[in-house]
Amino acid sequence: QVHLMESGGGSEQTGGSLRLSCTVSGYTFSRGCLGWFRQAPGNEREGVAAITRANGNTWYADSVKGRFTIARDNTNNTFYLQMNNLKPEDTAMYYCAINEPGSPCSIRRVDHYVYWGQGTQVTVSS
């Protein structure tokens, strides 16, 4: 059974930084797409960043390019989202996810992701 657990959320002021971690267990595929998503109250869940497990190719939402960095550590079955220069509009529940094996790696297709963590709250104050 695949299990994902996020950690590292919290409260920060504008311009601050946070690092989210996602620890994965039970996932045996050598490939796959590891993604971070977020959902603010009243909004749809949106893709933030993704990285391929095999070769480390990355994708970012335009709103976070240059501020957020996704990385993975396959040895420890963990992937990360480093968030710098945080803005109030980054406030949301953040989720890590893994896509369905064989589906394209994309942050635009939330429905491609079949394994999800419970989420961690990020709050940025002005």
* Euclidean distance between the first and the last CA atom of the chain, given in angstroms as a whole number: 41
Q: Other C-beta atoms within 10 Å of 13: how many?
A: 10
Strand-strand pairing, 78-83 and 18-25:
antiparallel
For 104, how many CA atoms within 13 A lie in the half-sphere containing its CB?
Answer: 5
Q: What is the mean pLDDT of residues 44-48?
A: 97
Q: Other C-beta atoms within 10 Å of 108: how many?
A: 11
| Single-letter amino acid, residue 34 | L
What pLDDT is attached to residue 31? 85
- Per-residue model confidence as pLDDT tens digits over 52-75: 999 999 999 999 999 999 999 999
Cα gap 100→17, rounded to integer Å: 31
| Residue 51: pLDDT band with limits 50, 70, 90 | very high
